[in-house]
Structure 1
Amino acid sequence: MSDLHHISGVAALRDTVARIEAGRSGAPRRRAASGPPPVGLGDGALPLDAALGGGLRRGALHEVVAEDARDAAAAAGFALAAAGRCAGPAPLVWIVEDHAAAETGLPYRPGLAAHGIDPDRLILVRTGDGPATLWALEEALRLGAPAVLAELWSAKPYGLAPSRRLLLAAQNGRGAAILLHAGLAGRGAGLSSAAETRLAVAACPSPRLASAGSRVPIPGPPAVAVRVLKLRLGGEADLDRDRRHALVWNQHRRCFDAHALPVGVSAPAADGPRPARRSASVVAFGARAG
């Protein structure tokens, strides 16, 4: 009987190993179904949402970084709109450092509304420096804030240990944490953290609208191009970090739509020799007034 038990145990072990190997070589891993469903950045079949496994998860830490210093406004606008999507009808906590508020101004009510955020349901937190920003973000998550947007201007206080604390706080409070690395433009690929996702955002030519009485078209809704640099629970091996998802913000539906204009193909310049990628940037993506 002992030999039969031994043979049966070896066969079961072989079956288990075979299933594990099949899982490694088969379809990409999917994120766990436990917890609240992810929040889609779009209302329909948005390719970026599909790449993220459905959208941005609550109970997780998400990072946003600009592709280039000139894309800082686009990254900030995208992060704010994404945070508004995660908050939904609940209050949104926005953490801003004092020096940034002094330079860019306080939130502008029409700008907030354009991003799908009710100005009366915004909780603005002012901090003195990076460590205070991370502390405020962690405490807001622990207190159960549904969504928190924090701007971090220095990478010195950030790393694996602080990001791990933020992740645990988000998991315990079941809120979505969106950390905008305002001081790391162009350096998102080299960042090491426990965040679930990291998105690199660049300005993108917006759809053009017909002008009233002029042949020169005017810029339409704000648009961005987004790359997924990190997807911790979505199958890193199959992640295409070079793919740019072109998105346009739909103010009326308060979501992102797929942008019809291919990213990387410059539109004809209407008023000068400057590349259309910069001349048609996301100037409407602004929720502050100096």
Structure 2
Amino acid sequence: MSGDRTTMLAHLRGSIERVETHSDTYAPDRVPLGHAEADAALKGGLARGALHEVFCEGRQSAAATGFIAGLARRISPDRPLLWIRQDFAERETGALAMSGWNELGLDPRGLVTVRAPDVETALCTTADALACDALGGVVLESFGESRQFDLVASRKLTLAARGSGVTALLLRVAAMPTASTAETRWIVRSAHSPPGNAWQVWGAPMLDAQLVRNRHGPNGQWIMEWKSDECVFREATYAQPVPATAAHRPPAAAAHAQRRAG
């Protein structure tokens, strides 16, 4: 029994070493998002069969959910998407609305949701799901900080995604980024709609998407529109960035804002 365990550990160490040693020569299949500047930074588009992370503040969960749903649609439009949600995430942000899913141009029939009681179960379920190459992608959504999302867990998900070719998408709400083997890491917020009356400016969802980690290219920040009819990201016709909240500004700016408020 001990011999089998030693062999398994040696195999896992070898796989991890190959991920880390050959990451620069790894050439995954890529799918364009449709946003020219973002696709250029991504060397042609988002990598399939890889791990990608999306972070957001708690109040920005709807924007990040729409963004990650759009990524999943671009990656694999013809295969089912498995969305694994930590129970606490659903209590904090609400259930996924199929009416909203449909308004984004996505087919609710291709979405399968799984509720996990805790982070450990969610991670194990995600790793198991990534082994199923019938899926187009697997989303793991969690809320808040969690020590379970460490480098070891990230490596396991990366290996599983590469082994099957199924893309892993992590949605981390109200959490801070930590070390990982993710191909990309995004921070997403909603962006301003064009000025005018609500009935006049109603249109494509506007997203402030910041690429803060890109293993094979530069980082960047863009105001994107999600075109529901085409299911593609485009350059925003009205690109007005959203000011950072006091908690996310540099310390001097935050202190100045606090003094003015007082």
Same fold per superposition (TM over 0.5):
yes
Within 1, Cα distance between the matches of 2:94 and 2:68? 17
Equivalents in 2 of 1:34, 1:263: separation in Å? 35
Q: Which structure has the larger Rg over C-alpha atoms?
A: 1
Candidates 26, 29, 39, aligned match of 1:49: 39
Which residue number in structure 2 is paired with residue 11 of structure 1?
A: none
Unpaired stretches in structure 2, ≥5 consecutive residues: 1-22, 244-262
Q: TM-score, normalised by structure 1?
A: 0.69
Alignment of 1:133 with 2:122, yes or no, is yes
1:63-82 aligned at under 5 Å gives the runs: 63-66=53-56, 68-82=57-71
Partner of 1:249: 226
CA 1:206–1:140: 2 relative to 1, 3 Å: same
Cα distance in 1, alignment partners of residues 60 and 93 from structure 2: 15
| Counterpart for residue 227 of structure 1 | 210
Instruction: Give how far 1:116 is off.
Output: 3.3
Residues 31, 263 of structure 1: CA spacing in aligned structure 2 closer, same or farther, 3 A cutoff? farther
Structure 1 unmatched ranges of 5 or more: 1-29, 267-290
Residue type at the aligned position of 1:171: R
Preserved CA contact (<8 Å) 2:142 2:171: yes
The C-alpha deviation readout for 1:111-134, integer Å capped at 9, x for no partner, is 112233211121111101111111
Give the whole-Å Cα distance in 1 for the aligned partners of 2:211 and 2:137.
20
Q: Distance in 2 between matches of 1:105 and 1:134?
A: 20
How far apart are the structure 2 equivalents of 1:71 and 1:85? 21
Aligned mate of 1:201, from 179, 188, 199: 188
CA contact (8 A) 2:193 2:201 kept: no
Within-5 A mapping of 1:262-281: 262-264=239-241
CA distance in 2, matches of 1:181, 1:123: 19
Alignment of 1:62-141 (within 5 A): 62-66=52-56, 68-141=57-130
1-structure distance, mates of 2:147, 2:164: 26
Is 1:149 the counterpart of 2:139? The answer is: yes
Separation in structure 2 between the aligned mates of residue 208 and residue 250 of structure 1, nearest angstrom: 19
1:87 CA displacement: 2.5
Does the 8 A contact of 1:208 with 1:220 survive in 2?
Answer: no
Task: Indicate conservation of the 8 Å contact 2:101/2:108, yes or no.
Answer: yes
8 Å CA contact 1:74, 1:202 repeated in 2? yes
Tell me the equivalent position of 1:158: 149
Cα deviation 1:239-269 (Å, max 9, x = unaligned): 24xx421101111101111012234388xxx
1:110-169 alpha-carbon deviations (Å, 9 max, x no partner): 211223321112111110111111111111111222211110224310111100000000
Q: Deviations over 1:159-204 (max 9, x none)?
A: 11100000000000101111011131xx33xx21011100111211
Residues 209, 31 of structure 1: alpha-carbon distance in 2 compared, 3 angstrom cutoff: farther
More helix by percentage: 2
Partner residue of 2:236? 259
For 1:160 and 1:207, locate their aligned partners in 2 and report how far apart those are by CA, in whole Å. 41
How far has the Cα of 1:39 moved from its partner? 1.7
Partner of 2:30: 38
Please, which of 182, 185, 195 is the counterpart of residue 173 of structure 2? 182
Q: Name the TM-score, length of structure 2 as normaliser.
A: 0.75
